[in-house]
């Protein structure tokens, strides 16, 4: 996400900056090549898991609960939505700013829910906190969709917010609310919100069936809106969503993504009909808040592996194109011959993204989940160039990225961080508050980290960087 901030705002009490927490770790596998840090400490994945979930408490907006563990974060933005007579308090600030963008927030929620579905049994005492993190978002998304025909998709005016570096507790910038409706649609953001609600409904299905049904009913309503009134949010809210969270890939991927999650939650073939109608089988390696292509192919293939003919008979070409593209996704990230990513000398995956760490986390999560399901049916991947890729190799690639993030890199430091405000924006002194568990944008293509608060691509943490890492940490905490 592109942004810049100045220190010119009227609030006196301000402190929201990024600081780096250094962690020295040991030698580990790094993207198909050996990299030695010279350290003997072991990586503590369980600790990383705990902190990755704790991070979300620091991003909370609204009235905080009594069990809030990130105690320096206080109540904020309690009057969101009041200018238009609705309650839009709650939800998450997406990054180092005080804005609430529903597009990345919904994607964060979808992936966090997927992480719990795949790895919740490995999270131990952290599971309940992960579920709480999901509910904090879904409760807000429900507020945003209470009025039929209107969906609130953003709170906060980006330009004024980015021009003022202050705590959300102290902010006095504009808190405008922005919505889409039947004449000004936004299928990408509404379909992603539907995906988040549907995925979360599965998380709550066994332990809170009443709330699960509420989520699923709302997911259905929101997806029907996204599908019936198709269009890009960019077109009606461009000055407020661009260039921050423009949907560069169009909305068809979100419609397919939402339909797939609603199928997973309901097993109703009508959602597969929507998938077929969209004719959406994209060969692409992208996965993030903007582009869901690789996620669609992997999720559809996993469903095929789990459900077999009962699913394939409802998909065009029996769903074989999804499997083909999921396999090609894996073949494109192989360290010995990468075609869809570039590896830094130290072994970190890169693409042209706003925040560098979006890529290795999201892609590694897909690779790991796909690998485990392939392993469950004793299958592997054969790439067009003849390379045979076992699930174990896919897991090793994912582990190499996790280990790099946690310290097995040329700088021998972890990229988990904290953030705080304007008086400290240009200082190198320690920050008064640490957002424990946040992962910053990270190093560049040459493994160099710009420890500079003004360079957001390197220094800014985001919710959607953390979301896929939570599942990865849970798995490797028990499978090192």
| Residue 286 in this model has a pLDDT that exceeds 80 | yes
Q: Which residue is listed with tokens 């009057």?
A: 79
Name 290's Cβ contacts closer than 8 Å, sequence gap at least 6: 245, 246, 247, 248, 249
Instruction: Give the model confidence (pLDDT) of 137-181 as tens digits.
Output: 999 999 999 998 999 999 998 877 777 778 899 887 778 999 999
| Residue 1 in this model has a pLDDT that exceeds 60 | no
Instruction: Return the pLDDT at 82.
Output: 94
Instruction: Give the model confidence (pLDDT) of 103-133 as tens digits.
Output: 999 999 999 999 999 999 999 999 999 999 9
| Residue 463 in this model has a pLDDT that exceeds 90 | yes
Residues known to be catalytic: 451, 460
169-175 long-range contacts, CB within 8 A, separation 24+: 169/74, 169/75, 169/76, 170/11, 170/12, 170/13, 170/14, 171/11, 171/76, 171/77, 171/98, 172/9, 172/10, 172/11, 173/9, 173/98, 175/77, 175/79, 175/80, 175/83
Instruction: Give the model confidence (pLDDT) of 244-261 as tens digits.
Output: 887 878 899 999 999 999
Poorest-confidence range of 64-68, 191-195, 340-344, 435-439?
A: 435-439
Q: What is the 3-state secondary structure (H, E, C) of 199-219?
A: HHHHHCCCCCHHHHHHHHHHH
Instruction: Return the pLDDT at 276.
Output: 80
Instruction: Give the model confidence (pLDDT) of 26-58 as tens digits.
Output: 222 223 333 333 333 489 999 999 999 999 999
| Residue 282 in this model has a pLDDT that exceeds 80 | no
| Residue 464 in this model has a pLDDT that exceeds 70 | yes
Instruction: Return the pLDDT at 241.
Output: 78
| Residue 3 in this model has a pLDDT that exceeds 80 | no
Report how far residue 78's alpha carbon sits from residue 89's, in angstroms, rounded to the nearest whole number: 5
Poorest-confidence range of 261-275, 282-296, 371-385?
A: 282-296
User: Tell me, which fold does domain 50-65+76-479 have in CATH?
Assistant: Glycosyltransferase (1.50.10)
| DSSP structure class, residue 149 | T
With H, G, I as helix, E, B as strand and everything else as coil, classify residue 19.
strand
Name 183's Cβ contacts closer than 8 Å, sequence gap at least 6: none
| Residue 353 in this model has a pLDDT that exceeds 80 | no
Q: Percentage of the chain surpassing pLDDT 70?
A: 86
| Residue 22 in this model has a pLDDT that exceeds 50 | no
- pLDDT, average across residues 410-414: 90
Q: What values do phi and psi take at 417, rounded to 5?
A: -140, -175
Res. 281 pLDDT band, cuts 50 70 90: low
Domain residue spans in the chain? 50-65+76-479
Instruction: Give the model confidence (pLDDT) of 78-105 as tens digits.
Output: 999 999 999 999 999 999 889 999 999 9
234, 236, 240, 241: CA torsion to nearest 10: -20
| Residue 420 in this model has a pLDDT that exceeds 80 | no
Look over the chain and give the mean of its residue pLDDT values, rounded to a whole number: 86
Instruction: Return the pLDDT at 239.
Output: 78
Instruction: Return the pLDDT at 168.
Output: 92
Res. 313 pLDDT band, cuts 50 70 90: confident
Q: In whole angstroms, how far apart are CA 463 and each of 145, 217, 352, 359?
A: 21, 26, 19, 13
Instruction: Return the pLDDT at 10.
Output: 34
Instruction: Return the pLDDT at 324.
Output: 94
Instruction: Return the pLDDT at 379.
Output: 98
Res. 5 pLDDT band, cuts 50 70 90: very low
Q: Which residue is listed with tokens 């946040």?
A: 438
């Amino acid at each position: 996400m592109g942004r810049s901030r100045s220190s010119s705002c009227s609030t006196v009490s301000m402190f929201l900056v990024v600081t780096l927490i250094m962690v020295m770790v040991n030698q580990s596998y790094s993207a198909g090549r050996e990299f030695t840090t010279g350290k003997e400490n072991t990586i503590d994945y369980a600790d990383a898991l705990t902190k990755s979930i704790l991070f979300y408490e620091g991003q909370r907006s609204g009235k905080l609960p009594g069990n809030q563990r990130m105690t320096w974060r206080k109540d904020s933005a309690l009057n969101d939505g009041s200018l238009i007579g609705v309650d839009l308090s709650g939800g998450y600030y997406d990054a180092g700013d005080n804005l609430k963008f529903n597009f990345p927030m919904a994607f964060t929620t979808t992936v966090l829910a997927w992480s719990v579905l795949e790895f919740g049994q490995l999270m131990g005492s952290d599971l309940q906190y992960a579920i709480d993190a999901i509910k904090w978002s879904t409760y807000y998304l429900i507020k945003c969709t209470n009025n039929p025909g209107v969906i609130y998709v953003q709170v906060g005016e980006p330009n004024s917010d980015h021009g003022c570096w202050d705590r959300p507790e102290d902010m006095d910038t504009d808190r405008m609310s922005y919505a889409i409706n039947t004449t000004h649609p936004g299928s990408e953001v509404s379909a992603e919100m539907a995906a988040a609600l549907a995925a979360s409904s599965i998380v709550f299905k066994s332990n809170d069936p009443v709330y699960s049904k509420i989520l699923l009913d709302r997911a259905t309503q929101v997806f029907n809106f996204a599908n019936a009134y198709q269009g890009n949010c960019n077109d009606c809210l461009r000055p407020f969503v661009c260039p921050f969270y423009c949907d560069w890939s169009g909305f068809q991927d979100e419609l397919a993504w939402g339909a797939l999650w609603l199928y997973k939650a309901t097993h109703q073939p009508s959602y597969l009909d929507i998938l077929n109608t969209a004719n959406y089988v994209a060969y692409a390696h992208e996965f993030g808040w903007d582009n869901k292509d690789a996620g669609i192919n992997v999720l559809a293939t996993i469903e095929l592996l789990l459900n077999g003919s009962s699913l394939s008979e409802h998909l065009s070409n029996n769903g074989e194109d999804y499997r083909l593209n999921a396999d090609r996704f894996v073949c494109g990230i192989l360290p010995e011959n990468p075609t869809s990513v570039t590896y830094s000398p130290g072994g970190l995956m890169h693409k042209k993204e706003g925040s560098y760490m979006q890529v290795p986390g999201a892609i590694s999560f897909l690779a790991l989940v796909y690998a485990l399901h392939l392993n469950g049916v004793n299958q592997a991947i054969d790439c067009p160039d003849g390379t045979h890729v076992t699930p174990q190799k896919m897991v090793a690639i994912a582990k190499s990225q996790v280990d790099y993030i946690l310290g097995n890199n040329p700088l021998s430091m972890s990229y988990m961080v904290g953030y705080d405000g304007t008086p400290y924006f240009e200082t190198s002194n320690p920050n008064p508050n640490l957002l424990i568990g946040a992962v910053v944008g990270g190093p560049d293509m040459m493994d160099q980290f710009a420890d500079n608060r003004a360079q957001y691509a390197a220094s800014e943490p985001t919710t959607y960087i953390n979301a896929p890492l939570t599942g990865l940490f849970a798995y490797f905490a028990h499978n090192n």
